[in-house]
Amino acid sequence: MSSIAVPELEAPSAVPVRRHRLPVVSLTIVAIFLLVALLAPLLAPADPYDQSLRLRFRPPVWEERGSWAYPLGTDRLGRDLLSRMIYGARVSLAAGVVTVLISSAFGAAVGLVAGYYGGRTDAALMRVTDATLSFPVILLALILAVTVGPSFANVVIAIAVILWARYARVIRGQVLTLMTLDFIAQARIAGAGAWRIITRHLLPNTLNTLVVLITLQVGYVIIVEASLSFLGAGIPPPTPAWGSMIAEGRDFVTSAWWVSFFPGLAILLVVLAFNLLGDWLRDTLDPRLRQL
């Protein structure tokens, strides 16, 4: 009796996994700015508030009248531009981090509650969220500046009062998807209450999205804070802030370009670095993208 040859089956090839390389450039830029902000008193070559009219509009060191005493030049009051930029990094990053932490905590809580309970609770919270999203941040900050006065606290409040709604919208949408999955139904059958399901099951499964949003929104907050300072509704002078430094040099762009250029370059670098870092985190933490 002849045997029947069975063709050998080829083993399925392994699914290629995309390796997301570390964003070395963006991480380096963020780390440098964070270190500069933390070590500002040690790194600043001069007092950022010292004025000397005889030293006004000194150019950067590589130009003809430049001096190593003022590597990036001086402003219209003779203040060292490099020192003011170093202290300005502390102001901008502090505003970004504090605002994002406050708004993300509140917005995530609203999104979790709305997505879990649904119904009238969801409808009411989302109407408030939609109304908040429609209100411009700049207008609210200007109102606070006129009524109370410009300050760091008012900038944080004005941005956080509007920014939380973005987190609420995104987290609520993800929670609605999670609520249809089997593990939530099993948790309810096991007798888990609302607090336990939200904190033990829903929140951990939305943390990846929350971290990505936080990273992306830091750059946005820095731009908004700089815009408010530029308009005079943000950090009041003489506190060094990148936005107000750009505003101080806008009338001297042709004769003293460095006064506005270097703060603007700092904003460009730090915002771009945070955005690239957020994109990398999104690609790395999203399980659907990890399999591509």
Q: Please report which confidence band the pLDDT of residue 287 belongs to, taking 50, 70 and 90 as the band edges.
A: low
Q: How far apart are the two ends of the chain, measured CA to CA in Å?
A: 49
Q: Is 18 exposed, middle or buried (0-12, 13-18, 19+ CB in 10 A)?
A: exposed
* CA dihedral of 150, 153, 157, 163, whole degrees rounded to 10: 100
How many distinct structural domains can be found in the chain?
Answer: 1
Does residue 275 belong to any structural domain of this protein? yes
Q: If you average pLDDT over residues 34-42, what whole number do you get?
A: 92
Domain assignment present for 11: no
Residue 8: the pLDDT is: 44
Q: Which helix (H) or strand (E) holds 166?
A: helix 152-178
Flag whether 213 is in a domain: yes
In this predicted structure, the answer to whether residue 46 has a pLDDT above a threshold of 70 is: yes
> Higher model confidence: residue 81 or residue 237?
81
Q: Domain for residue 57, yes or no? A: no
pLDDT value at residue 268:
94
DSSP conformational letter for 22:
-
Residue 154, pLDDT score:
85
According to the model, what pLDDT value does residue 270 have?
A: 93
Q: Is residue 59 part of a domain?
A: no
Three-class secondary structure of residue 67 per DSSP: strand
User: What is the Cα Rg of the chain in Å?
Assistant: 26
- Residues, the chain: 292
Contact 93, 241 (CB under 8 A): no
pLDDT at residue 286, rounded to an integer = 65
pLDDT of residue 1: 44
Cα-based angle 224, 267, 285 (whole degrees, multiple of 5) = 80
Residue 292 has pLDDT above 70, yes or no: no
pLDDT for residue 19: 54
Distances (CA, A) of 123 to 128, 163, 172, 237: 9, 19, 11, 43
Structural domain containing residue 107: 24-35+73-287
pTM: 0.84
pLDDT tier for residue 146 given thresholds of 50, 70 and 90? confident
- Across the strands, what pairs with 70? 67
Q: Mean pLDDT throughout 90-97?
A: 91
Kindly report, residue by residue over 168-194, the tens digit of the pLDDT.
Answer: 999 999 999 888 888 888 888 888 788
Q: What is the pLDDT of residue 20?
A: 60
Q: Please state the rounded mean pLDDT for residues 191-208.
A: 86
In 3D space, the residue among 68, 78, 76, 29 whose CA is nearest the CA of residue 45 turns out to be 68
* C-alpha distances out from residue 40 to 8, 231, 240, Å: 68, 25, 12
Instruction: Give percent of the chain above pLDDT 90.
Output: 36
- Please choose, from the candidates 57, 110, 109, 32, the residue with its C-alpha nearest in 3D space to the C-alpha of residue 248: 57
Residue 43 resides in a domain: no
Does residue 283 come out as left (phi exceeding 0), alpha (psi in the -120 to 50 range) or beta?
A: alpha
Is residue 273 assigned to a domain?
Answer: yes
**Helix, strand, or coil here: 74?**
strand
pLDDT tens per residue, range 94-144 = 999 999 999 999 999 999 999 999 889 999 999 999 999 888 878 887 887
Q: What is the CATH number of the domain that holds 205?
A: 1.10.3720.10
Q: Is residue 60 part of a domain?
A: no
